[in-house]
Structure 1
Amino acid sequence: MNTKLTLSIERQLIQESKEFAKKHGKSLSHLIEQYLKSLTAPASEMQEEHSALIQLKGSFSEPTISDEEILISALIKKYKP
Structure 2
Amino acid sequence: MDTKLTLVLDKQVIERAKSYAAAKKTSLSKLIESYLDSVTAAEKTKEDISPLVKSLSGVITIPKDFDYKDKYASHLAKKYLDD
Q: Hey, what's the Cα distance between the residues in 1 that align with 2:4 and 2:40?
A: 19
Could you tell me which amino acid in structure 1 is paired with residue 45 of structure 2? A
Unaligned runs of 5+ in 2: 47-67, 71-83
Equivalent in the alignment of 2:29: 29
Structure 1 length-normalised TM:
0.53
Is the partner of 1:7 in helix, strand or coil?
coil
Query: Size of the alignment, in residue pairs?
Result: 48
Q: Hey, what's the Cα distance between the residues in 2 that align with 1:4 and 1:25?
A: 21
Structure 2 length-normalised TM:
0.52
Identity of aligned residues (%): 45
Could you tell me which amino acid in structure 2 is paired with residue 43 of structure 1? T
CA gap 1:9/1:62 in 2 versus in 1, 3 angstroms = farther
Aligned alpha-carbon RMSD (Å): 2.0
Rg (Cα) greater in structure: 2
Equivalent in the alignment of 2:10: 10
Could you tell me which amino acid in structure 2 is paired with residue 17 of structure 1? A
Runs of 4 or more, structure 1, over 2 Å off, are none
Equivalent in the alignment of 1:43: 45
